[in-house]
Amino acid sequence: MKKFLNIMLIMVALTVAAPASAQIQFGVKAGLNITKANLSKGALSADNRTGFFIGPTVEATIPLIGLGLDASLLYDNKKIKVSDESGTYGYSETLNYIDIPINIKYSLGLGSMASVYIATGPQFSFNLDGKNIFEQSYTLKSSEFSWNVGAGVKLLSHLQIGYNYNIGIGKTAEINNLGDVIDEAYNKSFKSNTHQISLTYMF
């Protein structure tokens, strides 16, 4: 219930903040992500893994100046693999989140058919699993804060193709107390960064 209320508060705030003169479009966004867990140091390493995301999106653009705001409510499926140098320890996990990215977007027209844009802004993510991962070694955070930087093209006012880099701020998960199983050589926490390719259709 607390996660749901947080999501609703963010969406209401966005609606109130949109200028009265803005042109508002609704749409659907979907795409692929490549996630890597960033380990500060230690005997563990992480490999890139591919997942997906999908959900509704809304965009408000101020006419003439090309400046706007977009927000999405996305189901995000991430995959992470962690292993040690010897190959004796190796686990893959699927992580499920509700993501709310909120981006300031600037668009530059290339004629009546197309435009390019750059975008940046915060993202709020809520863990749907609420579980330990990697054989109970790490405990996921219930929510995460990250930052997006992206760019893309708009075609025919309806289709958008974009690239986004999501930078984790803070920890994604922390290690559990395993006694002698994992010693000081191993990371006590990690955070994840994600490359995303998206396709958006605006109605």
- 109 Cβ neighbours under 8 A, 6+ residues apart: 66, 115
- Each residue's pLDDT tens digit, 125-172: 998 976 665 555 667 778 889 999 999 999 988 999 999 999 988 776
Quickly state the pLDDT bin for 182 (edges 50, 70, 90). very low
pLDDT at 180 over 50: no
Summarised one tens digit per residue, pLDDT across range 49-102 is 789 999 999 999 887 788 999 999 999 998 877 666 665 566 677 889 999 999
Q: What is the CATH number of the domain that holds 153?
A: 2.40.160.20
- The number of domains in the chain is 1
Other beta carbons within 10 Å of 31? 18
194 - beta bridge partners?
A: 35, 166
- Yes or no: say if 182 and 155 are a contact pair by the CB < 8 Å rule: no
Strands 90-109 and 138-140: unpaired
Q: Which residues span the domain enclosing 70?
A: 2-202
Question: pTM for this one?
Answer: 0.80
In b/e form, how buried is each residue of 34-55, taking b as 16+ CB within 10 angstroms? ebbbebeebbbebeebebebeb
